[in-house]
Amino acid sequence: MTSSKTQYNVALRGDAMLTSSRWNKGTAFTMAERKAFGLTGRLPYRVNTLDEQCQRAYDQLQARDSPLRKNSFLQSLKNQNWVLYFALLSRHLSELVPVIYTPTEADAIASYSHLFRRSEGLYLTFPDQDTMEQDFLEQIKGRSIDLIVCSDAEAILGIGDQGVGGIGISAAKAVIYTLIGGIDPSRALAVTLDVGTNNEELLDDNLYVGWPNKRISGEQYDQFIDKFVQLVRKYFPHCLLHFEDFGVTNAQRILERYRDTHSVFNDDIQGTGAVTLSCVMSAIGITKTKLCDQRFIIYGAGSAGLGITKQLRDAMVATDGTPEEEANAKFWLIDKHGLIRQGTPSVREDLRAFIRSDEEWTSFTGEVGLLDTVKQVKPTVLIGCSTHAGAFTEEVVKTMAAHCERPIILPLSNPSRLVEVNPGDANEWTGGKALLATGSPFPPAKMPNGKDYIIAECNNALIYPGLGFGAMLCQSRKMTDTMIIAGARRLASLSPALKDPDDALLPDFGDAPQVNFEVAVAVAEQGIEEGSAGVDWSKEEVRAKAKAKLWEPVYAEYVYDKDGEV
């Protein structure tokens, strides 16, 4: 664990020290360090504490009058001083994560070429693929890497294809891994896979900084992705490779292709599925039922919807011993064509296990909508990941509640303006019976007895940094379903609702670092138990090993050494 007693031998001096985001302390360099590194005349006299620097930076941040300007300020701070950047974020976690990540980061990515000041991470571009290995080696020279986050930017944060701007989401995810998961930022690498863009606005923009070409596909695309993955496997066989915001036609396919040969993770599929599983586990802990007792309607059958479905299905198989085919029959998936059944046109291959028989719906001649499905299925769980605002109407919610003592309703679409139902309305329409969680923050809802019902935020950041840290910690060669389920079960066990059924289904986001630490421990313990780990520890050693591995944003002591780190 990095602490104030940690000492590093550093080879940089003068301006090189002050312009290194990893080593710079700004006005916090001690007098001894200023003399040793040639900084005495480059800094004003007084030595500040990290707390004083955070106060100054926070005051400067508050002077910015919009979330996007705050995002830009924080990006600049990150480029100057990692410790100060992460220390400031950690002191104002709930307030600032929406600024550096969703929803504000989407605006920053959409404006990437116009806001561009300084490159970050690794840009791998299709026309330069012949030099990909050389470019990769230049970036990682002298570095040990535990985490690589990559995106091809086809499906960015609900705003679609953003081309080279995808580096923004890769970098933001890496930041969350450090901020909430405790990953050393010097051991993380953000990558954008620039395979072109089909976004006409970008292609017509003379300031666009990416490859101004239509997005490649098919065999060319697969070969490019594979060349990158094989470089990761060759040079960092134990690192976690995190896929982010790939399009629906590629996300699941790429995950399945590599998940048995490397530790890969797709947050849109597995992270969303895992945190939703935790939420449902918490809810059924209140209803005193099992996963296999539920009837699930999943409204939205894209990467997130399918990821949620498969995660719930796999957990049902693993925890309840339900045969997979029987577990598949517990799900009704709805997309833009209505209920996915045999007569639905152009069903994706990865959805075929969940196609409903037309014989179940002989009374319907056209598409089967959400309300029709609710009336016939009488679901116990209704999950929305459609970005179809208001889809869970009063009639839908009341129809569900009429057949279910404690309906579990999870409108998860982001941002909040696209949520399927306002949780306050769902709470009112069910007379306070609904168990609720959303994908974005919402204020508490009023119960009939006047008590506030805390709406849990089903935020991937409550679990994916811990899932990743756990896999990195035990050096697993793959992220197994059972490791993910172990992490989800640990998160569910921390639910405030298990102590008070009218409390939130998931812990508060402000507790995300502590929660993710527990998730990481559970994941690493499972990896060791099942033999997936690459370490020879016992399960009893995991917690201490995890604590020792955590990176914290505090200043270390530096000693000048011409042969030291740079």
Give binding residues for a divalent metal cation as ranges. Answer: 244-245, 268
Angle (nearest 5°) at CA 88 between 84 and 91: 140
Binding residues: 244-245, 268, 414, 459
- The Cα–Cα gap between 224 and 472 comes to 25
Angle at the Cα of 483 from the Cα atoms of 479 and 485, rounded to 5 degrees: 125
Cite the active site residues: 101, 173
How far, in Å, CA of 435 to CA of 366, rounded?
A: 32
- Answer whether 538's CB lies under 8 Å from 528's CB: yes
What are the CA-CA distances from residue 120 to residues 117, 168, 507 (Å)? 10, 9, 33
State both tokens at 98: 């929406």
The two tokens of residue 268 are: 């849109």
Sign of torsion over alpha carbons 308, 309, 314, 315: positive
266 neighbors 240 (Cβ within 8 angstroms): no
Alpha helices in 82-193 (DSSP H): 82-91, 93-100, 104-110, 112-115, 132-140, 167-181
Binding-site sequence positions for (S)-malate: 414, 459
Before 103, cis peptide (omega within 30)?
yes
Give every CB contact of residue 330 below 8 A, 6+ residues apart in sequence.
Answer: 292, 294, 295, 296, 313, 316
Cα 480 from Cα 522, distance rounded (Å):
13
Q: What whole-number distance in Å separates Cα of residue 244 and Cα of residue 253?
A: 13
Extract the tokens encoding 74.
């924080």
Q: Which tokens in the block code for residue 455?
A: 């709406």
